[in-house]
C-alpha cells in the first residue's frame, strides 16, 4: 500500500498494489500499513523518446568536445575520432546512463544506436546487452541509426537491414538531403527495410527552411502510401520552427493525416518546432533527451522533468496548460509513440510510478524536484534520486 498520494488530477488516494499492478485507488488515509507518501504528487513513469545510449561517455573522465565547426558533418567527424579512442565499452557507459535515468523516474526509452561502415553492428550488440541487463527495470526500444549517412557510408543499407533482423525495432534516418544529398535514395532504403521487416521509422531531420519542409512532406506522403500511420516519427524537424506559421500549419495537417509524430528535445541553438500549433493540428509531439555527455553535447542528465522544463523554457511556455503539454511530451504522448499499451496510472494498470514533492504537474515541470520514490511493478527501485 502506498498511502496518501496526490494524483495528477488533484485527488488524494491510497494506492493498493497487488502482483505488481494497481489493485485499487482508495480514499487517502493518514496512517496504516505501507509507505506514507505524505501527499506527494504521483505521476506515471517518465518516458524518454529519444536517447543515444551508445554515444554517452557518462562515467568516463571528461572528454572535451573536438568538433571543428558547428555543422552536423563536423560533429560526425569529431565523434568518429572519439569512438576510435574509446577504452571503455558502450555496454558499460550505456549502463551508467540507464542507472541514472531510472533513478530520475524514466522507465521506458527509445534509444538510437549508431550504425555505419566503421562500427558495423558493434554498438547495436552493446545496447542489446544493456537492454537484456536492465530488462526487469526499463523497456528500451532500439532504432538502427545511420549516423554517417547511407550513401556516404557504403554498406550501411545492408547493416541497417541486418540490425532489424538482429533485434533493433525501428529503422532510423539522417538528413536525406543535408547529409546524403539523395532524398529518394535515402528514403527508398529506409522505407524499404521498414516495409519488408514490419518495422517503424524514426528519422533525424536537422535540415531547416523550405528544404526541410519539402523532406517532411515527402516522409508524410511515403508514410501514408505504405500504411505506416502511427509508426513513423521525425526527430528534431527544426524546419517547422524556421518557416512562417501558415507553412508550419499546412505541414502539420499533412503530418497529422499521415500519423507522423514529431520529437523535440528543446534545442538550444536551433529553431524549435511550434509544439502547441502542431498539437492543435492533431500532430503527436513527444520529447527526448537526445545527446547526454557525449561527442555531440557536453550537457544533459537524462532527467525528463528537466527536459520538460527545457522544452517549456525554449517554447516560452508560461501557463499551466502549456506546462501540461511539456509534461505530456515526456509521459503519455511519448508512451503512445513508443507503442506502450500497458501504461498509465489506473486501476488494473502497472504499479509503475514516480513521486515528487509538488502540488501539481505544472509545479513539477517548473521546479523539477528530486524524485522521492520511483516504483516499478510495486517495488521501490529508487529513493531520493538514488537507485535502491
Identify whether the C-beta of residue 302 lies closer than 8 Å to the C-beta of residue 50.
Answer: no
Instruction: Copy the grid coordinates of residue 262.
Output: 514529431
Nearest CB to Zn ion, comparing residues 2 and 145: 145
Nearest CB to Zn ion, comparing residues 41 and 272: 272
Nearest CB to Zn ion, comparing residues 6 and 153: 153
* Residue that the C-alpha cell 554515444 belongs to: 55
In the complex, least distance from residue 13 CB atom to Zn ion, rounded to whole angstroms: 38
In the complex, least distance from residue 97 CB atom to Zn ion, rounded to whole angstroms: 14
Nearest CB to Zn ion, comparing residues 141 and 290: 290
The whole-angstrom distance between residue 81's C-alpha and the CA centroid of its chain comes to 26
In the complex, least distance from residue 50 CB atom to Zn ion, rounded to whole angstroms: 6
Smallest CA-to-CA distance from 30 within 11, 10, 14, 8 is with 14
Nearest CB to Zn ion, comparing residues 144 and 373: 144
Identify whether the C-beta of residue 166 lies closer than 8 Å to the C-beta of residue 158.
Answer: no
Longest Cα–Cα distance in the chain: 65
Q: Which residue is nearest to Zn ion (CB)?
A: 290
Residues 98 and 381: their CA atoms lie apart, in Å, by 13
In the complex, least distance from residue 344 CB atom to Zn ion, rounded to whole angstroms: 26
In the complex, least distance from residue 10 CB atom to Zn ion, rounded to whole angstroms: 36
Contact positions vs Zn ion (CB under 5 A): 290
Alpha helices in the chain (DSSP H): 72-84, 90-103, 122-133, 156-165, 183-197, 209-225, 245-258, 275-280, 304-314, 320-329, 332-337, 361-367
Amino acid at each position: 500500500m502506498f498511502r496518501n498520494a496526490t494524483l495528477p488530477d488533484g485527488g488524494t488516494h491510497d494506492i493498493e498494489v497487488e502482483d505488481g499492478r494497481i489493485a485499487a485507488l482508495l480514499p487517502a488515509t493518514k496512517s496504516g500499513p505501507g509507505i506514507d507518501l505524505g501527499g506527494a504528487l504521483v505521476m506515471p513513469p517518465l518516458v524518454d523518446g529519444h536517447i543515444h545510449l551508445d554515444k554517452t561517455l557518462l562515467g568516463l573522465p571528461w572528454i572535451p568536445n573536438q568538433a571543428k565547426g558547428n555543422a552536423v558533418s563536423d560533429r560526425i567527424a569529431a565523434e568518429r575520432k572519439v569512438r576510435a579512442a574509446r577504452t571503455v565499452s558502450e555496454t558499460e557507459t550505456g549502463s551508467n546512463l540507464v542507472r541514472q535515468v531510472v533513478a530520475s523516474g524514466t522507465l521506458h526509452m527509445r534509444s538510437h544506436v549508431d550504425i555505419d561502415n566503421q562500427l558495423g553492428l558493434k554498438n547495436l550488440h552493446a545496447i542489446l546487452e544493456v537492454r537484456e541487463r536492465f530488462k526487469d527495470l526499463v523497456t528500451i526500444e532500439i532504432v538502427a541509426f545511420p549516423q554517417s549517412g547511407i550513401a556516404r557510408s557504403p554498406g550501411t543499407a545492408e547493416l541497417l537491414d541486418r540490425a532489424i533482423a538482429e533485434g533493433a525495432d525501428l529503422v532510423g534516418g539522417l538528413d536525406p538531403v543535408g547529409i546524403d544529398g539523395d532524398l529518394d535514395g535515402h528514403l527508398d532504403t529506409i522505407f524499404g527495410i521498414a516495409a519488408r521487416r514490419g518495422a517503424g521509422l524514426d528519422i533525424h531531420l536537422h535540415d531547416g527552411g523550405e528544404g526541410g519542409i519539402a523532406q517532411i512532406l515527402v516522409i508524410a506522403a511515403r508514410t501514408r502510401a505504405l500504411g505506416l500511420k502511427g509508426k513513423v516519427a521525425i526527430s528534431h524537424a527544426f524546419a517547422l520552427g524556421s518557416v512562417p506559421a501558415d507553412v508550419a500549419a499546412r505541414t502539420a495537417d499533412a503530418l497529422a493525416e499521415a500519423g507522423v509524430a514529431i520529437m523535440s528535445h528543446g534545442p538550444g541553438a536551433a529553431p524549435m518546432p511550434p509544439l502547441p500549433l502542431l498539437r492543435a493540428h492533431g500532430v503527436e509531439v513527444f520529447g527526448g533527451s537526445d545527446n547526454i555527455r557525449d561527442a555531440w553535447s557536453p550537457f544533459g542528465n537524462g532527467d525528463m522533468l528537466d527536459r520538460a522544463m527545457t522544452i517549456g523554457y525554449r517554447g516560452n511556455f508560461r501557463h499551466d496548460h502549456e506546462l501540461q503539454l511539456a509534461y505530456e511530451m515526456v509521459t503519455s504522448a511519448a508512451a503512445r509513440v513508443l507503442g506502450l499499451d500497458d501504461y498509465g496510472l489506473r486501476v488494473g494498470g502497472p504499479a509503475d510510478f514516480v513521486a515528487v514533492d509538488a502540488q501539481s504537474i505544472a509545479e513539477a515541470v517548473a521546479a523539477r524536484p528530486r524524485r522521492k520514490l520511483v516504483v516499478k511493478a510495486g517495488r521501490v527501485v529508487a529513493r531520493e534520486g538514488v537507485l535502491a
